[in-house]
């Protein structure tokens, strides 16, 4: 992987993304930041709803949309923080 690509991935901040300009299959990406935060909620049904919303709105019939790569970057960061929490320091930061 090129150094500049790796740097972009490491420095990616969801708060700085113009989600409203990125298209998904049914609407623009405005709701993704909210759904990403809900993925870490303690309530299982809230997490499940967030997962369903993300799954339905970042890919459709094997078509990747403008929101897809940025959703994947944010999901990678969330997963990395969960793994760090579970296996290393028990400090969870989104």
- Domain assignment of residue 7, yes or no: no
**Could you tell me if residue 17 is inside a domain?**
no
**In a domain? residue 1:** no
Q: Is residue 45 part of a domain?
A: yes
CB 10 within 8 A of CB 77: no
Give a yes or no: residue 77 inside a domain: yes
Q: Which pLDDT tens digit goes with each residue over 59-80? A: 888 888 999 999 999 998 888 8
- Both tokens of residue 39? 């993925």
What CA–CA distance (Å, rounded) separates 44 from 39? 9
Domain that residue 79 falls in: 26-94
Q: Give the model confidence (pLDDT) of 21-74 as tens digits.
A: 999 998 899 999 999 999 988 999 999 999 999 999 988 888 889 999 999 999
- Residue 14 belongs to a domain: no
Asked if residue 39 is part of any domain, the answer here is yes
- Tell me if 44 is assigned to some domain: yes
Give the pLDDT score at 93: 56
Total count of domains within the chain: 1
């Amino acid at each position: 992987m090129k150094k500049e690509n790796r740097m972009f991935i490491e420095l990616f901040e969801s708060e700085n993304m113009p989600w409203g300009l990125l298209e998904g299959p049914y609407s623009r990406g405005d709701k993704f930041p909210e759904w990403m935060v809900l993925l870490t909620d303690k309530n299982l049904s809230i997490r499940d709803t967030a997962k369903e919303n993300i799954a339905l709105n970042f890919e459709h019939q094997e078509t990747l949309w403008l929101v897809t790569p940025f959703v994947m970057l944010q999901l990678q960061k969330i997963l990395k923080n969960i793994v760090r929490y579970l296996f290393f320091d028990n400090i969870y930061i989104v």
